[in-house]
Structure 1
Amino acid sequence: MAPLPDGFSYAEWNAAYNGLSFGIAAMGSATSFFWLQLPNVTKNYRTALTIAGIVTLLATYHYIRIFNSWSEAFTVSSKNGGDYTVQLTGSPFNDGYRYVDWLLTVPLLLIELILVMKLPQAETVSLSWKLGLASALMVALGYPGEIQEDLSVRWFWWCLSMIPFCYVVFTLTVGLAEAASKQPSSAAASLASAARYLTVFSWLTYPFVYMVKSVGLAGPAATMYEQVSYSLADVLAKAVFGVLIWAPAMEKSVYSDAFLGWSMPSQL
């Protein structure tokens, strides 16, 4: 991992600190919500909702580790009532936790979307493997460039990681369009499409944040923007996305209950 640059202002340090803290709060709250909602959906969708909770639980753990590593890397102090000053302690800031988190959670995010769409079993298994492996490969190819300061090396790994990235985005936007339109109700179809497009929108932020150090930003400002942007993108891609997994699961559960209640003869 690359060492942190010196010269952080208190505002820059505090922005990253608060961004990481927000990630912990959002992911932890989402985990509780998803698992408390399990009894409210039918068995067909409990696996998807369970995975949504696992994703945010893993993210909560890793955000706690990143937050602690960030706090340990700095000393913040104020002397004689003056402005706060930020100094490096010499302890490393381990941002690798973020990539470990992505390697574990990104394939699961796609699997939970596929499960909630209730595709035929063969198609579910095939898509889960293809998208899961492609997303894991995307993360694995991105990490070697993330820890490099050499811009040519960063661009090289960025280009490689964009190959599986484009495949996943194409599948979400085009390959699953027909399946999304065939949901049992118009509300469920709309929610499934929203989950697909939220995934694409949130994912599009990552390649741009990845290259933030290649567009004229450097030093503490680049690190601050990187940490805050990744934190916000993660909350969208995991916590908010999980809500859009829960919503169609609830809608289809209600639809299923209403259908069964209408079709089953009353017991006298």
Structure 2
Amino acid sequence: MPNVLSHGQFETVYNFLSLVIASMLFTALFLLVSLPRVLPRYRQAITVAIVVCGIATYHYFRIFNSFTSAFVTPSVGGTGDYSQATGAGFNEGYRYVDWLLTVPLLLVELIAVLALARKVQRHLLVRLVPAAALMIALGYPGEISGDNGLRGLFGLLSTIPFAYILFILFTELGKSLEHQPAAVRGTLSRLRFLLLLSWGVYPVAYLLPLLNLSGADAWVAKQVGYSLADILAKAVYALIIFQVAKMKSYDDDPAFAKVELPTGEPLAPAPTHA
């Protein structure tokens, strides 16, 4: 963590942390209000999405408070440089606690909205959830280490479960898409790429010190990268899960669709291709 941030650097991190809090909080509230708009069999997926956004909101409040406590300025109006406060530090551990809880739940969301047979769901979850938890747990020692060798070692170790998760998502889970309504296959297929895109930001930010990119600019870039990735992987992802749940609800129950859809709108969206 840098000892000094310029006013612009401080404001950048401050505003991005605020953006994440707002995104997570209001996504959770929207999903909570909208829960009756999907059939009961898909509400588990939306409930998990609400929990994920709620957990993220709490932890980002803690991250925000840790950040504003760690950096202070003596200038009037807060327009000068911000120095690290004596006895205070920015707690990066809040992110890892959040990820340890929410990353496995993101996979639960996806499995739940597919509404597969229980045996198939269980088979996927017992493989994906432990791998996700292991990925986060292995990354944390490297994150807090000042030794680039250890950082690289734990980064490599955490890549193993990450690759395993991608293998499951794009092979076994891909086979399950054949049994989904035609209208949602394309969306579900692209959802896997959203996870890949958003999760791909984390290792890039993690590797910055190994690329000899350090100092205040690199640290700010890492915080911005983590924040944007969390918005994509949690809030945007949750809204797509909700859209899939609605589309599947309409496909399952035309009577429910007639109640939900405006007059004259087709009962199911036109099929898309992966």
| Length-normalised TM-score, structure 2 | 0.90
Describe the SS at the equivalent of 1:119: coil
Residues 20-35 of structure 1: pairs in structure 2 closer than 5 A: 20-35=17-32
Describe the SS at the equivalent of 2:187: helix
Instruction: For 2:241, give the aligned amino acid.
Output: I
Shift of 1:16: 1.1
Pick which of 251-260 and 93-102 moved more.
Answer: 251-260
The CA deviation string for residues 171-228 of structure 1, in whole angstroms up to 9 with x for no partner, is: 11222112123212x2211221122221111111111111111112112112111111
Q: Distance in 1 between matches of 2:103 and 2:34?
A: 22
Q: 1:216 aligns with which of 212, 215, 218?
A: 212
Describe the SS at the equivalent of 2:4: coil
Q: Distance in 2 between matches of 1:40 and 1:115?
A: 16
Q: 2:236 aligns with which of 228, 234, 240?
A: 240
Shift of 1:149: 1.4
Aligned to 1:229: 225
Q: For the Cα contact (< 8 Å) 2:250–2:257, is it kept in 1?
A: no
2:127 corresponds to 1:130? yes
Q: Distance in 2 between matches of 1:175 and 1:204?
A: 21
Describe the SS at the equivalent of 1:196: helix
Pick which of 165-174 and 233-242 moved more.
Answer: 165-174
2:48 corresponds to 1:51? yes
2:179 corresponds to 1:178? no
Q: Distance in 2 between matches of 1:15 and 1:261?
A: 44
Describe the SS at the equivalent of 2:171: helix
Shift of 1:78: 2.9
Aligned to 1:265: none
Q: Which runs of 4+ in 1 moved over 3 A?
A: 259-262
Instruction: For 2:102, give the aligned amino acid.
Output: T
Q: For the Cα contact (< 8 Å) 1:194–1:244, is it kept in 2?
A: no
Q: 1:117/1:5 Cα in 2 relative to 1: closer, same or farther (>3 Å)? A: same
Residues 60-139 of structure 1: pairs in structure 2 closer than 5 A: 60-79=57-76, 83-90=79-86, 91-139=88-136
Q: 1:258/1:96 Cα in 2 relative to 1: closer, same or farther (>3 Å)? A: same
Q: For the Cα contact (< 8 Å) 2:70–2:89, is it kept in 1?
A: yes
Q: 1:261/1:23 Cα in 2 relative to 1: closer, same or farther (>3 Å)? A: closer
Instruction: For 1:84, give the aligned amino acid.
Output: G
Aligned to 1:188: 184
Q: 1:88/1:124 Cα in 2 relative to 1: closer, same or farther (>3 Å)? A: same
Q: Distance in 2 between matches of 1:42 and 1:260?
A: 8
Pick which of 230-239 and 174-183 moved more.
Answer: 174-183
Q: Distance in 1 between matches of 2:176 and 2:122?
A: 15
Aligned to 1:266: none
Residues 134-153 of structure 1: pairs in structure 2 closer than 5 A: 134-153=131-150
Structure 1 unaligned runs (5+)? 263-268
Shift of 1:126: 1.5
Describe the SS at the equivalent of 1:87: strand
Structure 2 unaligned runs (5+)? 259-274
Q: Distance in 2 between matches of 1:85 and 1:157?
A: 34
Describe the SS at the equivalent of 1:37: helix
Pick which of 133-142 and 172-181 moved more.
Answer: 172-181
Identity of aligned residues (%): 44
Q: For the Cα contact (< 8 Å) 1:173–1:196, is it kept in 2?
A: yes
Q: For the Cα contact (< 8 Å) 1:173–1:197, is it kept in 2?
A: no
Instruction: For 1:226, give the aligned amino acid.
Output: K
Q: Distance in 1 between matches of 2:198 and 2:81?
A: 34
Shift of 1:77: 4.2
Q: 1:261/1:236 Cα in 2 relative to 1: closer, same or farther (>3 Å)? A: closer
